[in-house]
A and B are shown apart, each in its own frame.
Chain A
Amino acid sequence: MQIITEQNLRNLIDLLVKEAKLVVGPKLSGSVVLYEPLTAGTELTLDALPRRSSKELFFPVCEDILSYKREGGAMKVTDVDRSKFPETVLFGAPPCDAGSPSILDAVMSWDYKDEFYLERRKKSTIVGIACTKGDDACFCRAVGLAPDTENGSDLFLTPLKDGSYACNAVTEKGQALVAAHKNLFAEGAGAEPVPFVDQAVQKLDLVKIKKWLEEHFEDPLWERIADICVGCGACAFICPACHCFDINDEGSTDDGVRRKHWDACGFAKFTNHASGHNPRDVQNKRYRNRIMHKFKYYDDKFGKTLCTGCGRCIRACPVGIDIAEILETINGKAE
């Protein structure tokens, strides 16, 4: 087994920074921990789940997709130079974050390829870490992941009781990362792993839930649970799997950029037609779409559940809507 000490993990970050890679990891920014570019290994903060998910590494909150400029009489449109996207290493992503890109790959490469996402994805290596923290909002086990799920990570670290980490190079990218810095890793048996926390929510039968959703497009449950939703986008924006976006032009008619930025299905105007007709005209329909998209539609289309159980939406919901509780309710109803 490959072992890396905590100090060497931080050294590895220093080295990668030195190699002019973009190194991203949980970092204290003001009062919140966010995934941010690290300039030194010492900045890596592993004791809290970052407030925003690591999806923004591949799917930034707002990005330019083209720029336009009128030159003389003619309009000139310039593509974004995606070759400039840097080689990136993501550190310290727990399974619920590390697992999200492998879910999103499907929609982003379905037929038309979103090269903004895919280029970043191609150039990044994910160093995941087994989760030993967790709180009562976590429910990764319920959606089929676990605190030690390696799937999604290129290199997976398991914290050991002596402070070092057991490493498993899951993919070729991970193996390459280890191979290039092999002096920092040692071969050994390693100490005992730090135990994972128990989760309040037990594993759910997602097939059963999906079936219930299929049969209950109209159900009083939607009104009961979703009418207290105030229609903000907090849950969608901090979700590792939500990927809806909006496209807008900013600038003048002669010179500006077109930008793609996060959008949320909870917003009242999300589906509003120019005519004023709105297919999802009330909040519980919008909330239903959120649940359906995550646990039915995405599975129908791509064979995956659009949720990693990170619990961020539960912690952030202004009115305490608890998606884990909703899933348990459905699980119970679907007997």
Chain B
Amino acid sequence: MHDFEPKIVAFVCTWCTYAGADLAGTSRMQYPPNVRVLKFPCTGRIDPVFILRAFQKGADGVLVSGCHPGDCHYMAGNFHARRRFAAFRALLDFIGVDLNRLQFSWVSAAEGGKWVEVVTDLTERVRTMGPMPEFKELEHEELWSTFAEATAGKSTGLNITGDRSQVLNTPELKEAYDSIS
């Protein structure tokens, strides 16, 4: 597990969290370099499909962060986002995704320290959880359809050269097989 460096994607709002992360940087605070920050005008613009996409394309953890309630540059963007992500979490949970890989936070422009803390926590948590295989497997799924893969001549996991004693389980079959082999 030592070799595993988790990939964390952070979707942040430009007004608070991005400024907070910037403050952490200019204050020379140290935090894990695993995080890739994507800047949005507001958490209200962050569509759940972005999170799906991040997981699909290889993220092991996703962070969504914006202004504290009441501080939104657009008045209510983060209030809407709060409801949307509450619902989205429920959906991911129902589908079978580990919610520990998804973190939401409010980090203001003044909270460089909190940014460091949130990122460090998530990175370390995901590091102990290991890589996230589920969505990546979907992308490269070879066995998604035994039919399509089998007709393409790819390995299917079908036991087509199975144990002879198991296949030849009836006397007629044994006889038939012996006659042709």
Contacts and interface: CB of A to CB of B under 8 A. Distances in A.
A and B interact physically: yes
Interface of A: 7-8, 11, 14-15, 17-18, 20-22, 24, 34-37, 39-40, 56-58, 60-64, 80-82, 84-86, 88, 120, 180-181, 183-184
Contacts of B153: 81-82, 84-86
A20 B160 contact: yes
B151 A60 contact: yes
A62 to B, nearest CB: 6
B148 interface: yes
A24 B160 CA distance: 12
Which of under 10, 10 to 19, 20 to 34, or 35 or more describes the interface residues of B?
Answer: 20 to 34
A39 B159 contact: yes
Contacts of A15: 167, 173, 176-177, 180
Contact of B150 (A7, A22, A81, A181): A22
A88 B151 contact: yes
18 contacts: A14-B169, A14-B173, A15-B176, A17-B162, A18-B161, A18-B167, A34-B147, A35-B147, A36-B147, A37-B150, A37-B158, A56-B151, A57-B147, A60-B152, A61-B145, A85-B151, A86-B150, A183-B176
Contacts of A63: 148, 152
Interface string B150-181: 11111010111110100111101101110110
B158 A11 contact: no
A56 B175 CA distance: 34
Contacts of B161: 18, 20
Given A20-B160, A37-B158, A63-B152, A11 B172 contact: yes
B162 to A, nearest CB: 7
B148 A61 contact: yes
Contact of A11 (B160, B164, B170): B170
Task: Tell me the interface secondary structure of chain A in the complex.
Answer: mixed
B156 A183 contact: no
Contacts of A14: 167-169, 173
Contacts of B175: 183
Nearest to B174: A11
A56 B148 contact: yes
A110 B162 CA distance: 40
Given A15-B176, A57-B147, A86-B153, 10 more contacts: A11-B173, A18-B161, A20-B161, A24-B150, A39-B162, A57-B151, A60-B147, A84-B154, A180-B180, A183-B180
B146 interface: yes
A179 to B, nearest CB: 10
B176 A7 contact: no
B52 to A, nearest CB: 16
Contacts of A120: 151
10 smallest CB-CB distances across A and B, nearest first, come from A84-B153, A60-B148, A11-B173, A183-B176, A183-B179, A37-B150, A85-B153, A18-B167, A20-B160, A37-B146
Contacts of A82: 153
Given A17-B167, A84-B153, A86-B153, A62 B176 contact: no
A21 to B, nearest CB: 8
A24 B161 CA distance: 16
Given A11-B176, A18-B177, A39-B158, A64 B167 contact: no
